[in-house]
Chains A and B, each alone.
Chain A
Amino acid sequence: MGRAIEIDEVRRIAQLARLQLSDAECERMAVDLSAILDYMNVLGEASTDGIEPTAHPLQTSNVLRDDVPQESMDSAAALANAPAKDAPYFKVPRVLDQAE
């Protein structure tokens, strides 16, 4: 019997989730996720024809507060936890190719 999720699929999902996993971790993940997904398949037995989805327990939508200017967080405080910074900016590895 095949597994619910194969190792190539695990690699694809890890890419989407931005998680660097070793081959051994991908293998273990395939085993764990397959067992959990098999269990979740019981949902397929529930009859949901014509049932609206519930994304949220409250009936409210588009709650807005009054547009009153308020003091915002001080940039030094916002940067305080950054692993790399060049105040007032966060520093990240190069995003655009140098050729551009």
Chain B
Amino acid sequence: MSNAARAAVLVLLAAIVQVSILAPVSILGGTPDALLIIIICLALLRGSVAGAVAGFTGGLLVDIATLGTLGVTALLLTVAGYWAGRYGETTGRGRAHAVPLTVAVMTVLVALGGLGLHYMLGESVSAHRAVVTTLLPAIPLNLFVAWPLNRLCRALVHQPPATGQRSIEVQALV
């Protein structure tokens, strides 16, 4: 099975697990977001385009399964996947803290983005509930589940070999 097919299956499973198993789980008011973490891990491994496509697909699956406004989660996760991928392609490349840092930042940004998007759609929600009650516990929860999910992603989807400019630089240094 190719990398793309494995990534697609991973995103599908993560979306199903998220809406069916994890969404009802409430630990100190927060809920772990396995789909967001899988998308971040894929984006860091495969780049911004793969991250954006994975985010769009996963978000769309969630929107369909939860019978919500179509495209809202897809939009949020597309941007999250793209930004995570860009970070992986530039400053985050090869850094050990890239995954936890991206997960923490994206958890906050997706929550705030979701709050703004739902507010624009007239679906008002208490900012205290969205930010304090659910977001603060969600950050450590996501960081906790990020490690095993990142290992799973790395085991199933392989990083593309580095090409182009980097190899030329290494040759010059040697």
Binding partners A and B = no
